[in-house]
Structure 1
């Protein structure tokens, strides 16, 4: 399996999952009326044909991308407008005999299979994302976790050694490191008093990292040179990382379980199906993307 296929498949699975869980993602009130209890509730009629709450949910599923740019308070009106337009255009198409054409039959067959795919995804694949499956996947993830030492530091970056030495003298004279960083720093951290947050080994350039990890909490470094200039470093804290809680990573773990379930079930279905692609070049491309 190629990395590109895995990335595309994860994106496709997540995209389908997102469209199927639209009411959760946007919140039920964004699509359904307050207190609405039945998908059969009639919202409007067009030529005597009803448009229901259930129709709005289907429209929301189809128009998930468009809904993201529409304020929540306007989504129901937008969806109902789409459904009214759809009804009048569909009736006009029938009167013109467009429902009797070959292209309509092909499009209808495609839409039927798309709907069945969504139903299968919701009823079979999403059903595999249980609390037990998420818990098991989380436990497997944290079993491989290795604690790492981390430090939290502030720094001041300036172009020359002389500037760094002068600023160090200010701080030793009683000025706070954060104030000095806000005035003299030349990188984006000056807005936060030079705060770099927590980092572990391998995240910073070697001279900076070595100097930071060698400090005691509260200690101020001598000027340290890197390819970016001269740094003063003050160590704020030390800690050892711990595995994230399930609450913190539940969404990511659930998405991974969804992807794994999708890959397993759809892979088994493909293995049992007779799939042939007539064009060899196209077949190779489809295989690269995991379609065969």
Structure 2
């Protein structure tokens, strides 16, 4: 089959993923129109404790519950957060009714691709439940303290630098600026007038930074300067720099409470990775020899045609 046909198949797959949201958008527009006409109506009394098993619609004998609506709502993109709850409620309900009608009207066998997508969707949803259970346990305070001590307790002191630079296109421009500075010119003023870098408006000020923040040649040049000293012209992939070092300081280690959330997440992630390793070690997993499969086959939707 031709490349153009394959591309059309890829587009068709993407379009199928959009159709659910197309139904929802249509339903929401209808709900908004209805809500606009009922703005003066008295609101219906809400239940104190809504029951997720409460039936909100029945379509040819198939019940749709509040739980179905809540589950569908949880899968929506953030853009739907701006909608009023009553509009979103009516839109979701209408979508589920329409989807049920369409599902019931379908005759024959599902395509192979649809069957596989359903398998993958169940696999992903159940795996998500498992992940939530594994990572849902909060690490105890002793584990968090141990992680903090390991990461920060014996960390070597790190020097941070506060520097400014003037970025120009040529070495000659950089040399000319150094001559002006040696003659008493103000560094910030020269940066504002001559620098082509984004820090020009701040007089070339780069703020505080440590190792790994700047490209290596630039950082090394800064680290070799004395406070108040101006560098020789330095070339990087961005152009030519004239650098001055304003201050240095020893970086303070963060307090435990400031990094607690970060450490807890790292511990949860480590627990999850260990859990997966154990599952595979205890399980019977056999990976076939895929060397004979062209990796580009995953892009060929025509392979799933009946």
Could you say what secondary structure the match of 1:281 adopts? coil
User: Matches of 1:89 and 1:119 in 2, distance apart?
Assistant: 25
Q: For the residues of structure 1 that align with 2:293 and 2:144, how far apart are their CA atoms?
A: 35
* Aligned match of 2:52: 40
Go from structure 1 to structure 2 and tell me whether the alpha carbon gap of 1:282 and 1:115 turns closer, same or farther (over 3 Å shift): farther
Aligned to 1:255: 265
Structure 2 CA distance, aligned partners of 1:119 and 1:283?
A: 35
The reply on whether 1:269 has 2:283 as its aligned counterpart is: no
Map 1:89-168 → 2, pairs under 5 A:
89-94=99-104, 96=106, 112-123=122-133, 125-132=134-141, 133-158=143-168, 159-168=173-182
1:74 paired residue among 83, 95, 101: 83
Structure 1: segments with no counterpart, 5+ residues? 1-33, 286-292
Which entry has the higher C-alpha Rg, 1 or 2?
2
Equivalent in the alignment of 2:234: 226
Equivalent position of 1:244 in the other structure: 254
Deviation at 1:167, TM superposition (A): 4.2
Question: Would the alpha carbon gap of residues 43 and 142 (structure 1) be closer, same or farther in structure 2, given more than 3 Å must change?
Answer: farther
Per the alignment, residue 199 of structure 1 pairs with: 209
3-state SS of 1:179 partner: helix
Shift of 1:182: 1.1
8 Å Cα contact 2:69/2:92 also seen in 1? no
Alignment RMSD: 4.1
Alignment CA distance shift 1:96-1:226 (3 Å): closer
Quote how far apart the aligned CAs of 1:136 are.
3.4
Q: How many residues end up aligned between the 2 structures?
A: 236
How many angstroms apart in 2 are the aligned matches of 1:106 and 1:248?
A: 45
Match of 1:58 in 2: 71
Give the Cα–Cα distance (whole angstroms) in 2 for the partners of residues 129 and 248 of structure 1.
Answer: 17
With over 3 angstroms needed to count, the CA separation of the structure-2 counterparts of 1:199 and 1:113, relative to structure 1, is closer
Q: Is 1:215 aligned to 2:219, yes or no?
A: no
After superposition, residues 276-291 of structure 1 pair within 5 angstroms as: 276-277=286-287, 279-281=288-290
CA contact under 8 A between 1:157 and 1:186: conserved in structure 2?
yes
State the alpha-carbon separation in 1 of the partners of residues 177 and 267 from structure 2: 53
Instruction: Say which SS state the counterpart of residue 136 (structure 2) adopts.
Output: helix
Q: 1:108 to 1:205 in 2, by over 3 A?
A: closer
TM-score, length basis structure 2: 0.59
Find the aligned partners of 2:156 and 2:292 in 1 and give their Cα distance: 42
Q: Is the 8 A contact 1:151 1:198 kept in 2?
A: yes
Aligned with 1:224: secondary structure? coil
Q: Rate the CA distance shift 1:230–1:50 in 2: closer, same or farther, 3 A.
A: closer
Contact kept? 2:163, 2:243, Cα under 8 Å:
no
- State the TM-score, normalized to the length of structure 1: 0.62
